[in-house]
Structure 1
Amino acid sequence: MLDMQERRDDTRTRSRSRVLFVDDSRLMRFAAKRWLEQRFDVVLAEDGEDGWERLCNDTQIRAVITDLMMPGIDGVELIRRIRSAPMTRVRELPVLVVTSMEERAGRDQAMDAGANRLVPKPFTAEDLIDPLQIFLRDAEQDETGAYAPPNIERNRLGLLSRMRQATSLHERLGLPWCMLHVRLENRKEVAERIGARWGESMMRHLERALLREVRIEDSVGRSATDTYSLLLPATPEEGARLLRNRLRRSIARQPARFPGRSLDLEVSFFIQIPQFGDEAEALLQDGLARLDAPANVTPLRSPGTF
Structure 2
Amino acid sequence: MKPRILIADDSRIVRATLIKHIEGMFEFREALDGEQAWEALLIDPSIRVVISDLTMPKLDGYGLLQRIRSSKISRIRNMPVVVVSGSDEQAERDRAKAAGATDLITKGIATGQLLSRLDILSKLVSTQNEFERGLEALVHRGDVDDQVELLSQEEWEARAEGMRISAVRQNRNFVVLNACIGLKHIALEGYPASPPASVINAIGQLLHRTVRQTDCVARTGEIEFTIATGSIHFDSARNFAERVCRAIANANLVKDGQMVLIASCGVVSVTECDEAGVNALDDMRKVARSRALLGLQNGITGVIGAEEATLLQQGESLPGIAVSGAVVQEKTSDLSIDLATLLRWIKEGKEDQVLAHIGKLSIELQPLVDLLLKQQRA
Task: Give the TM-score, by structure 1 length.
Answer: 0.41
